[in-house]
Amino acid sequence: MNRAEACCNQLSELNNYVPTRAYTGPLNNEILERFSVIILTQSTLEEQLRIARFTHEKNIALIVGETRGLFSQVFCDFGDNFSIVDPTGEPPVTAMVASISKDSQGVVTCLDDTRHGMEDGDFVTFSEVQGMTEINGCEPKRIKVLGPYTFSIGDTSHYSEYIQGGLATQVKKSKILKFAPLGESLANPEIVVSDFAKFSHPQQLHLAFVTLHRFIKNWKRVPRPWNVDDSQEFVKLARDLNEEYGFHFEIQEEVLILFSQTSSGDLNPMNAVIGGIIAQEAIKACSGKFHPIYQWLYFDAIECLPKNRANDIENYRSIGSRYDGFITIFGLDFQRKLSDLKYFIVGAGAIGCELLKNFAMLGIGSGNGCVTVTDMDLIEKSNLNRQFLFRPSDVQKPKSFTAAKAIVKMNPEMKVIAHENRVGPETEKIYNDEFFGSLDGVANALDNIDARIYVDRRCVYYRKPLLESGTLGTKGNTQVVVPFLTESYSSSQDPPEKSIPICTLKNFPNAIEHTLQWARDSFEGLFKQSAENAAQYISDPNFIERTLKLPGVQPLEVLESVKTALVDERPTSFQDCVAWARCYWQDQFNSQIRQLLYNFPPDQITSSGQPFWSGPKRCPTPLEFDVDNELHLDYIIAAANLKATVYGIKTNRNRKEIAQITSTVTVPIFTPKSGIRIAESDSQALVSNGNGNIDHERLNQLLAGLPKANDLSGKIHELIYEELTPCIQCFPNSPSLQLTQFGEN
């Protein structure tokens, strides 16, 4: 069948929002000018040059991609005036200013505990600077990095004297690229180096692909696999073209010979890599986000070839099988070894689907071997944009079984065993000595560090190779772990994520991540932890005994939450829920801030003579509740309905009714208290809490004040115990978002 027609229907199944059509006619100019991006694969150099002239003239983005055995090529031409709106795709960096010098260099120093994270040539603008106010909202200034905490912005001698504070925010500046057309770039290539261990390979491969096109034109075929005569002819032709095009590259015969001898091969993994890169370049061409390849990229994987290749030429001849493209490069013996492998793939998500597809195309486990895949998750609709083995009809089906069924359809020779198990200590009876002993290797497709470390330790124990991989947005990593040859996955690790001090989180937030963490802590504390503790208190007769054995002040915290849920803040009607939400809003966004400003007034000076509210300590402003403020009322609606759902009270989302109820709520008048101490640091907080020592008098008061579990039977027991599922289903996103917005303010 025609390839376009054969794959069109299956492509359209991947996403029914994308119109997918097959075209089998000639690529004339009338057809080409319908498109904004054109991708050429497996086309002759003459056709590439013809189309490239037209696309460059019409400002149509052109991408050319090709794989030949273990070698590949990508070329991009996005026109004379291509604008990149965001070269890196990273969020803008923000740094807190400690000082700005008033001189010809204008040195900006950031707070000692935070690197600015910027690079030479970046642009920044300033806000909240006191003293040197002229710099606030200035035109973006190009910086020169002087160190991890300092950079210069140019002449500041005409500005006022800097006093304190300020934020330096990176400004994303668009970048204009001028691409040369293919004909011009072919002779004077701009090549991106993809592997610095093979620094000279890109030039050799540029020459090799040009030579291959000429070889095919002259001989009407590609060089024969591992044929000495063809490879010698190929090298001779390459020398001639090196002079003809004026490359003047230093010829490396071993690279050109290897290219010639394997160029007739066709490998799925190479196609997968280059197909993914080209798809990413197409997104760049459409969006202007991320820096595109400028203009040539060459990638090879010659290290995959065995050092001691079999000399039997018959081993590399085509046998009329689906694996001929592989056999041409690696030989029939090696293909049979792959088919006999027993591999374990842990995870059937995005990377797991890619692995399974590649394994099926290579025939791994298609002979006497097999592939075992396990994943405990079900398919969600949101998985469909990247986990391509699944279709809309597969939603809520097990990932592992669905993926296994899909790849057997791709390659009926595959032997696949699907499990729905989590790989961990609890399944060691399944994945035991016998299971691991039978394996030839393991491939991880996991989404969390703990699971990766566990699988790695099992592989180290059983001396099994491990293929480790992960992705994060447009970034990715792979690691090949070979027993007795490489370090294991657990031998090195990323530095731990920087935790947020409790005092910063509660009293002195200064970054968006602080408000996000505050929102999450608030949500879980209000609607998850206290309800769970109360449910366990009611249902588990040993709850008190277990709680009192917890370390530190945990018994006090847990029992406080139980008393709050069952006594202090237990509503009996939806009106009670609204009243609670209104009072809680007042406490969070007015009373606590007024108490903070009572302890630390806006003009407070530290013992060293510096303003207290400076640097990371940002002076807050209490909010005044306004029932007509849409965001304020949203908060009340969300909080009241969550509270009602926890206690099984009928919910209400009528804005007008809730606004009327809110207006009638009597909010306690707050008066700042002089006896309350607010810690400035976590160490001070620890001292004020008695260094984690428990207050036994308060503990006894809580125990005496709790109602008996037997008195809380029936309806309340049932509803509090089941509170979490309906509560989070009703509000999957909005409460956390609203809490975050208030926290940021």
Catalytic residues: 503
The CA distance from 295 to 183, in Å, is 12
Q: Give the 3-state DSSP-derived string for 648-709, with helices as H, strands as E and coil as C.
A: CCCCCCCHHHHHHHHHCCCCCCCCCCCCCCCCCCHHHHHHHCCCCCCCHHHHHHHHHHCCCH
The CA distance from 264 to 223, in Å, is 7
Q: Comparing C-alpha atoms, which of 111, 100, 94 is closest to residue 159?
A: 100
Asked if residue 66 lies in contact with residue 47, where contact means CB atoms within 8 angstroms, the answer is no
The CA distance from 165 to 270, in Å, is 53
The CA distance from 597 to 472, in Å, is 41
- Helices and strands (H, E) in the chain, number of each type: 28, 20
SS3 590: helix
Length of the chain, in residues: 745
The CA distance from 163 to 129, in Å, is 8
The CA distance from 583 to 576, in Å, is 11
Question: What phi and psi, each to the nearest 5 degrees, are found at residue 167?
Answer: -125, 135
Tokens 């090195």 belong to residue: 492
Cα four-point dihedral sign 265, 266, 268, 272? positive
Query: For 247, which DSSP code?
Result: -
Helix axes 201-219, 45-57, angle to 10 degrees: 110
Q: Comparing C-alpha atoms, which of 57, 82, 405, 68 is closest to residue 255?
A: 68
Tokens 């020459």 belong to residue: 207
Question: What phi and psi, each to the nearest 5 degrees, are found at residue 164?
Answer: -170, 170
Asked if residue 255 lies in contact with residue 205, where contact means CB atoms within 8 angstroms, the answer is yes
Tokens 């002259």 belong to residue: 218
User: Regarding beta strands 71-77 and 296-300, do their DSSP bridges make them parallel or antiparallel, or are they unpaired?
Assistant: antiparallel
CA-to-CA separations, 344 to 159, 176, 423, 431, 438, in angstroms, rounded? 65, 47, 11, 10, 10
312 C-beta neighbours (distance < 10 Å), count: 11
Residue type at 131 in one-letter notation? G
**Segments of 78-219 assigned E as strands:** 82-84, 94-100, 107-110, 123-127, 141-142, 144-147, 150-152, 167-171, 175-177, 191-192
Query: For 398, which DSSP code?
Result: B
